[in-house]
Structure 1
Amino acid sequence: MALATVFLGRADLMGTTTELAPGANLAALRKERGFTQRQLARRANISVSLLSKIEVGDRTLTPAVAADLGKPMGLSMAEVLGKASVPQDEEERLPALRSAIRDYDLPGRQAVQEDALSASLGAAGQYRDNVEVTRLLATLPGLLRDATTHAHRANTVDAWMALSEVYSSVYWLAARHRWMDMAKLAVTRQRWAVEQKRNPLGVAIAARDRAGTYLNGGNFEGGLVVVDRAISHAQASLSGPERAFAVGVLNLRGMTLAGRFKDKKEGKKEAERHIKSAWEASEWFPRDGNRHSMIFGPQNTTTHVLATRLDLGRPREALRVADDISSVLEGLPPTRIAPTPINMARAQLDVGDRDGALENLSLAWDVAPQLARIHPMGREVFRVLASLHRRSNPALLKLSKVSGIPM
């Protein structure tokens, strides 16, 4: 199947947004910069064969390989994977959100009712959990301004923590779309907010989100330094369930970062360290809990272990983690459920189970269509499935219709 027919064309040639899946976006970026496959592969220290297979759709472009290939081109991992677009009628929300972020120290003149703010914060949390991206984007500009005003006027720990939580949702939205300039600014503001009236749990969550910008930038080792330092601070400043929760969410980020190390031996060692610590922290919680839009417990730990085994290049181990995946995912919100079948689909592709991969990818679309649309691996697995199925496949055609991604 011709590469150009798999996905829609890029929105612009500077890489601001793209409708291409990651592997196709990589091919376009390489050609724009005048690299041959051999030149780029040599500079990234990967095989020409692997690069060729990724570009034509025979292999998925993994985040770690995207980071390696981005460096010779002067691009971050997020830029190689491609920034996700928003519907045209939603683009007007972005300037309003950027303006609210810019005015972080300019509270409004009118007092904000605390009950109304709490209700809006709860609604934004629900939109995030349910991956209702368009509704979250519509809510955040006004919510951020109200939370800013309330924090400056009330000047309490809870008020500043509420503002920090809004910035965390801004980071979440930006990171999902790979808008890394906004993501980096959001985590800076998030840390600033939580430091106004220091809250150790808030500091840990802010560090977790900051490490996420290193993750999307492809600086996995640097992100792990941020995580390890934050774990030490959390262990020293918190106790009981709050300490376990903070250490737990940080370890989830830590294992993800370690799983993407180029040196897989070192990555495995670091990942196992964080996996062990996460399991120990999860013993405080019989089921997963949600605090300040962070989810931690034995279930979310399992989903992260699965993803980490896959990133370490061990797809069969990842699939063994998924043996009882239905009970693992039970009760989790869509934002945590949908990435798991996407990861399972990627693992199944690696072991040659195309039908299983298609089934799981379809499940991800059913659970959280707005996430699946912008998730780089969701789009990439679809691209590879479309390329490998060299005959008509009803399930693939159905998914193409549901997702709006052309074959």
Structure 2
Amino acid sequence: MSTTELPPGANLAVLRKARGWSQAFLARKASVSVSLLSKIEVGDRTLTPAVAAALARPLGLTMAQILGRADMTQDAEAHLSALRSAVRDYDLPGRPAVREEQVAAALETAGRLRDDVQMSRLVRMLPKLLRDATVHAHAANTPAAWATLSDVYSTVYWLAARHRWMDMAELAVTRQRWAIEQQTNPLGAALAARDRAGTYLNDGDFESGLIIVDRAIAAAQTALSGQERAFAVGVLNLRGMTLAGRLTDKAEGRREAERHIASASVAAEWFDRDWNRHHMIFGPQNTATHVLATRLDLGEPHEALSAAEGIDAVLRGLPPTRIAPTRINMARAQLDVGDRDAALENLTMAWEAAPQMARIHPMGREVFRVVSSLHRRSNPELLRLSKLSGIAL
């Protein structure tokens, strides 16, 4: 896979200049300081999701557009076209019957590829898996069959959201919700709501995303019980704390974040170790990684690093989908407190854990840009990371 040439901060500068706007004009419209905007564009500060959302609004863009769309190889683009066609044919199964165990085995494989961040392989297998799951759901018409189809759409959403293909992401969550509503499934409905809130997260509409989350939590608390309820409520609260951390009003963000952190912590008490259900993860470990990220988004890097104490133990056993973003967040926090060497070390760990994710992750690319700018390209470890990542200095 290839990615967009520009990391978020540099992409922002191109978009601003294309409008013919000065830094002062955009900063004033976005209620951001000119000094911060200037540092972001030259690579002395990272462009955070919250600031990206604030700058996107006056430009008439989404946060995802500011962060930049990740591209794919020509071969992968052909598979992506086939996937779009399969999503479009959601109510046109029109193929021979497919055995349940065949679909289940393929979904399990897709889940492993997702957890291991093998995106190139995942995009190749998703079109057939989606069509097979569609055929099976229409033929069997059971809660399990529709839940399987919903899980496939969730994986389509995950892949699209990672690349910032927001048109596909939004269509996938619409199909996901449609599939799970064919038969009563409260847990599936909660997970579909979590993904739907993710589209608001990527669009930069954090307030609306929080409404989706809170409504889904209330429904899950009523319809579910025991560990299933704790899992559903916990997963939704993880999404809620991420949304809250990115609110423009940081006082409100802290209040909302603390509410979701407290609720997630109570739900996590139901688990000795993290559950991976429907390829979503919840438990004490994943809660800790989200608390770290939320503290960082709230502008509290020291608190984020305090929350990251014992991070090696926290990450042990989690899939690369969680390890890489957490290492990137560690690097962001260390940059904010002036520890460039530690930031570079954690960024390298992110690339080693999940190279395909780190290469397209907007904050992975942004932190690399800032680290390389601050080191002035003279650090041997930076040169090694440049070779490892394929991103030129």
> Could you say whether these structures have the same fold, taking a TM-score greater than 0.5 normalized by the shorter chain as the test?
yes
Greater Cα shift, 31-40 or 364-373 = 31-40
Contact 2:377 2:383 (8 Å CA) reproduced? no
In angstroms, what is the RMSD of aligned CA positions?
A: 0.9
Structure 1 segment 133-152 matched on structure 2, within 5 A = 133-152=119-138
What residue number does 2:349 align with? 363
Structure 1 segment 99-118 matched on structure 2, within 5 A = 99-118=85-104
Displacement of 1:108: 2.9
Which whole-Å CA distance do the structure 2 matches of 1:275 and 1:354 have between them?
29
1:239 aligns with 2:221: no
Which whole-Å CA distance do the structure 2 matches of 1:140 and 1:239 have between them?
33
Q: Deviations over 1:78-100 (max 9, x none)?
A: 00000111122211111100000
1:35 aligns with 2:13: no
Return structure 1 stretches of 4+ with deviation > 3 angstroms.
Answer: none
1:349 aligns with 2:338: no
Selected match of 2:257 from 271, 275, 281: 271
1:196 aligns with 2:182: yes
1:169 aligns with 2:155: yes
Aligned residues: 392
Which whole-Å CA distance do the structure 2 matches of 1:311 and 1:62 have between them?
8
Question: Structure 2: which 5+ residue stretches go unaligned?
Answer: none
What residue number does 1:306 align with? 292
Selected match of 2:61 from 71, 75, 88: 75
Find the residue that maps to 1:92 and give its secondary structure: helix
TM-score (norm 1): 0.95
Displacement of 1:279: 0.4
1:375 aligns with 2:361: yes
Which whole-Å CA distance do the structure 2 matches of 1:224 and 1:323 have between them?
28
Displacement of 1:374: 0.6
Structure 1 segment 213-362 matched on structure 2, within 5 A = 213-362=199-348
Contact 1:164 1:190 (8 Å CA) reproduced? yes
Which whole-Å CA distance do the structure 1 matches of 2:144 and 2:238 have between them?
25
| Percent identity over paired residues | 73
What residue number does 2:140 align with? 154
Question: Structure 1: which 5+ residue stretches go unaligned?
Answer: 1-10, 12-16
Which whole-Å CA distance do the structure 2 matches of 1:320 and 1:125 have between them?
32
Displacement of 1:109: 2.5
Displacement of 1:391: 5.0
What residue number does 1:44 align with? 30
What residue number does 2:75 align with? 89
Which whole-Å CA distance do the structure 2 matches of 1:82 and 1:198 have between them?
38
Find the residue that maps to 1:290 and give its secondary structure: strand
Which whole-Å CA distance do the structure 1 matches of 2:85 and 2:79 have between them?
10
Find the residue that maps to 1:332 and give its secondary structure: coil
Which whole-Å CA distance do the structure 1 matches of 2:385 and 2:73 have between them?
20
TM-score (norm 2): 0.99
Q: Deviations over 1:372-400 (max 9, x none)?
A: 00100000000001111125111001100
